[in-house]
Copies of this chain bind each other. A is one copy, B any other.
């Protein structure tokens, strides 16, 4: 016998997890589509050189790559994708003439990283990405935040905050401190502020062994940290930033961009309660060059960001010379599901069909088969129990699976051409309903339950 376990760091998703997952994915697809984003799909397997090209992934991500080989293939040539952004860059480089710009695409799919297995960390996880390619318009920046907002709202995520910054403001600050060459290292340290605190970041900034960094002065580190720490709040934070950096052209551009985005989001119906500015937010990845986004659920910040992204100058520079700016974000489905599960807002029922037709011992199964077809035609999901087991067992199955109603037709009911409806939660039964009113009776019973649900 072979052990039926899954490989380390991987997992099966059972119906109780999959049903809300599918529902949430459907709302994401619907939301992305309602903004004119078009779906694309790229293979799970990419050529290794596509994934490991300069800047495609961080060193850490590259160490986690899963290599793929088949018989007759050359080892080291293929690998599983570790995100959906590098495949998007390759896709756009290959197909841009055909798809044209602006190109708005969404993609939902599994990505793979050989991370050290740990609780809640999986080596396969699903990203839900949407990007607008080929425009520098602030409208696309605002729309990206709006879609994060609308997607999460439609998925019934508890109250959350979208935190915004514009990398140009931080760039301006560093340039004004003569630290332009050290941006990458400084921003990577700054991103740890929440995790290791002010003193930790200050120490790291002043160390001379930080990669690409020759050590900041105590004063430089303090100025950066002051700026980041006082730079959190609503749109009013931008006024302080303007006083400090308004004469620096790049910083001023960043500040103006965030103002426009706030105005557009207000016009687009996104409440400013859901928005925050954090002038210290850098979002690690070196390729962000403008607005950046990060989203946390209020009170569940320990889960980290569930939807993040930003604007980049040049998406496909590894592959083509044509400059393609863009902006986009990625919703981390697995982290979101884990959070919603812990927060208790995923719902409990597992049945995908509300009605169970019992297979009554002695009744011709064709009777139930015919009723099921009739009800499905009326838009009602129906499961038939496959075997003429004891009715108690069948009702137990229905209760366990979250069916709402059972239809029972014994031989006496067949003779009289009637049926019984049992409400599985209360065990109440409506008896002797005529076959001729099947759809109406079941529809009516489901409506009663729905109204009771709403009332409770």
Contacts and interface: CB of A to CB of B under 8 A. Distances in A.
Interface of A: 1-7, 10-15, 18-19, 21-22, 26, 29, 32-47, 49-50, 53, 63-73, 77-78, 80, 90-91, 93-95, 98-100, 102, 104-105, 110, 112, 114, 123-124, 132, 135, 137-140, 142-143, 146, 150, 263-264, 266-269, 316, 318-321, 350-353, 356, 359, 365-367, 369-370, 372-373, 376-377, 381-387, 397, 400-401, 403
A330 to B, nearest CB: 18
Contacts of A369: 139, 142-143, 264, 267-268
A186 to B, nearest CB: 29
A68 B91 CA distance: 24
B65 A70 contact: yes
A1 B321 contact: yes
Contacts of A2: 49-50, 53, 318-319
SS of A interface (majority): mixed
Given A35-B353, A353-B34, A382-B34, A102 B387 contact: yes
Contact of A267 (B22, B37, B370, B400): B370
B71 A63 contact: yes
A6 B46 contact: yes
Contacts of A401: 36, 38
A132 B386 contact: yes
A386 B44 contact: no
Contacts of A356: 36
Nearest to A138: B365
B372 A268 contact: yes
A195 to B, nearest CB: 25
Given A70-B64, A73-B114, A397 B100 contact: yes
